[in-house]
Amino acid sequence: ESFPDPYEAKREVWIPFIESLGADESTVLVGHSSGAVAALRYAELHRLKAVVLVAATYTDLGDPGERASGYYPQQTSAGGKVTNPYDFAAMRANCPTWRQFHSNNDCFIPLEEAERIRDGLGLVSEEEYFMLPGRSHFFEPFPELL
């Protein structure tokens, strides 16, 4: 089954859709790009067996469409309060196993964005975080995922 709203990937659409699929503590949830951020947000609220993030970004990268999706933390003003922050502690509590894949030449998402997620989740092991050189935005399947 295809995800609804594939171009805007709105949180208000995707999270209920994942819920409707029955994702639970026996589910390994894999998300790519906007789907990776949806997986993060889903894990804030639901128990999962594992989450695999591919080409995940921490911020909306200044893109109005990404901002409108509703996933990303927003700063109210320069130096102001952050709204919609990630709850990395809840994510870790709800899901014991995490894997994250990113490339040093992703054409959309700078490596620093992925590193912020890595650090927020506390992925310190080489078994949890994989920086794979030269893979761009992972447009092709890759064996490390399996």
Active-site residue identified among 32, 33, 69, 102: 33
- For residue 144, give both structure tokens: 């490390």
Active-site residue identified among 60, 69, 102, 106: 106
Q: Is 106 a catalytic residue?
A: yes
Q: Is 125 a catalytic residue?
A: no
Q: Is 33 a catalytic residue?
A: yes
Q: Which residues are catalytic?
A: 33, 106, 137
